[in-house]
Structures are given as structure tokens and as C-alpha cells.
Structure 1
Amino acid sequence: MPCFAGASSILIYRHFRSEAETTLLMEQAWKTGKRVYCPRVEGKTMEFFLVRTWEDFEQGCFGIEEPGSECPAFEEDPQEQALVILPGAAFDRKRNRIGYGGGFYDRYLAEHPGLETAAVCFEEQIVEQIPAGPYDIRPRIIVTDQHCYE
């Protein structure tokens, strides 16, 4: 997809529970020379940190694998294209999403409005309607195993 191919940095979640697996996306990003950043949660905040190999991960918040403390933080550069790949429990065709209730991605994206966004999920996670509030941020595109919603 153009948004993935054109990005020099990919900010991507490490899959957990029933989320769409991100292993192949991360490996493709590394293989094509992209920088891969994954989130680490500290209290109510989430930041992204560079991961170069699977050994850079450690057990983190909520049992989710997170970048270790030695990993450098993501610094937004307006000269480079970065793509944030969002997780979610459910989505609708208008691209509204429900996460796991922490609001981490909505807060992060509100602070970094220039970042490109996409979400990956299974078609079964697309529902008729998701209630959305003024602080909910929708991804620009949702890619499922069957469709793309823009």
C-alpha cells in the first residue's frame, strides 16, 4: 500500500490478545530499510521507541511486549513520512474505532497531528456503528483481510 511503501518510519503496535498480528508487517518494514517503532506505556502516557530486532522487546504493561528502556525514542521529523498503525477491538465503515479503553492512541495522535494513520484488523471486527466522541481520532484507512475502508 502506498502509505506503507512511502513511509520511512513505521510506528506499530505489537499484537496482543485477538488483535491482528503485526509480525509480518514489522519484518517487511525491517527488510525494506524502514525504522520500526513500537509503543511503551508509562502511567497514562504512551511513546514510541525504535526496535531493530525481536531482542529489543521485553515484557511490559498489561503483559504486552514493549521496547526495552535502552531503545531510542521516536522524534517526529516533518521532512520524513511516518505511518502509525493503530490497533483496535472494533471498527466501523466510517473508520471509527474502539480500543481497549485507555485512550493512549487518541492522546498520542492529538499531540502529533501530522502523522499518517492506518489500522489493521480482521473483517469480523467491522461492526455497523461505533459511538465516537470529539476526542476520538479515526485512522485514514482501515485494512482488513478482505477490504480497505477509506
Structure 2
Amino acid sequence: MLNKKECRKEALCRRSGMTMEERTDAGRRIAGLLFADSAYRNAERILIYASYRDEVPTYEIMEQAWRDGKQVFCPKIEDSPEPETTAGGKKKTMTFYRVFCRDELVKGYQGIPEPGITEGRSWEGSSGKDLILMPGTAFDRERRRLGYGGGFYDQFLQNACSAVKIAVCFNCQVLPELPEEETDVRPDRILTEEGWI
């Protein structure tokens, strides 16, 4: 079995090999499958990443959620209130903040779009009607997920146990088998342009 670094490299290479047309078409198919699903229809709050580079596009999903009267929250990476790490650097944490339109997203951590307005807008724990849509680099059919290596989603998901957790990716990112650590949190389901896992 490949190690985590090799799995990430393989899946990201496959993803970057898709044409813009293929990504756009696959993104529309993913959005259509999501909108038809009860997890989306029943959700009152959507916690969703702002797509960056060649990730599954999420802005169409956000726009539809706003039209459907749902609250939309996006993640922001910021300094943790916890003490500094042993290496002397500030520990980072991921917090979701409510956004009311796409214009409220600004370039943030590592250039990724994130909420620019945060005061009074943080997500305050799962209500049972929350849907989390998460990205990742690689997945398998046992719902194992590899993120980008920061551990932000695994840490966040441990405190969002009652929310429905769906990972979205292109089918080319699904590998035969991924390594897994004790701290890794599997999504409830994975959605690709080919359907649900």
C-alpha cells in the first residue's frame, strides 16, 4: 500500500490532469446529485469549503443554498487560543463563519478563500440539521479520506458529531485503499460525479 504522501501525490496528479471542461461538467453533476439528496434538502446550515484551484467547485452549491434559505458557513484558518507549540510556533485551528454572499470571501491562509467578516458569525456547534461538505486529496471506497496534511478537518469533525458529513471529490481521486490513522475521521458518505460511496 502507498503511504499518505504517495496517495496524495497520485490523487492530486489525477485531479490536475482533468481538463477545465471535465471539471466543470463533473462539478455540475456532483451539485445535481447533492441537491436531490435528503441530506441537503433537510439541512438548515451548510458548512462548506470555498473551492480553490482544481478542487470540486462549490460556489454554485453556495448560491443555491442561499436561494433555498439555508445558512452558509465557510472555514477560516486562524491562530488557536491554545498555548504555542513546543517548536515555538502558533498552533492553527479551523473555525467556520457565516457568509451571506460570495463577495465576503477574501484570500486567506495559503491563498485559500475564507470569510473576511467574522465577528458574531461563528458556527456554534451542531444543531442536528447541519451538513458539512468537505474537500480532500484522496479517498477510498471504505470512506477513508486524506486531507492536505494539516489535520484541520479531522480536528473539527470530532466536535461536530451530529452533523451529516459528506466529502466531495472527483471520481479520479478515489484510490483502491488508503492508509488511516487513529485520529482520522471518515465522512458519512463520499459524493463524486459517478454517484455516492
Same fold (TM over 0.5): yes
Distance 1:60 1:39 in 2: 10
Matched position secondary structure for 1:124: helix
Structure 2 gaps of 5+ residues are: 1-36, 80-91
Out of 92, 107, 115, which is 1:67 matched to? 115
Give the Å deviation of 1:116.
Answer: 1.3
1:33 and 2:69 correspond: yes
Q: Which has the larger radius of gyration?
A: 2
Distance 1:101 1:114 in 2: 24
Give the Å deviation of 1:77.
Answer: 4.8
1:126-141 equivalences in 2 (<5 Å): 126-141=174-189
Structure 1 gaps of 5+ residues are: none
Name the residue aligned to 1:108. 156
Number of residue pairs matched? 148
- Say if 2:126 and 2:163, in contact at 8 Å, map to a contact too: no
Q: Deviations over 1:70-109 (max 9, x none)?
A: 451111253x500111100110001111110000000001
> Over aligned residue pairs, what C-alpha RMSD do you find?
1.2
Distance 1:94 1:133 in 2: 14
Matched position secondary structure for 1:76: coil
Distance 1:2 1:70 in 2: 29
Distance 1:96 1:18 in 2: 21
Matched position secondary structure for 2:153: helix
Q: TM-score, normalised by structure 1?
A: 0.94
Out of 126, 138, 143, which is 1:95 matched to? 143
Relative contact order (C-alpha < 8 Å, sep 6+): which is higher? Answer: 2
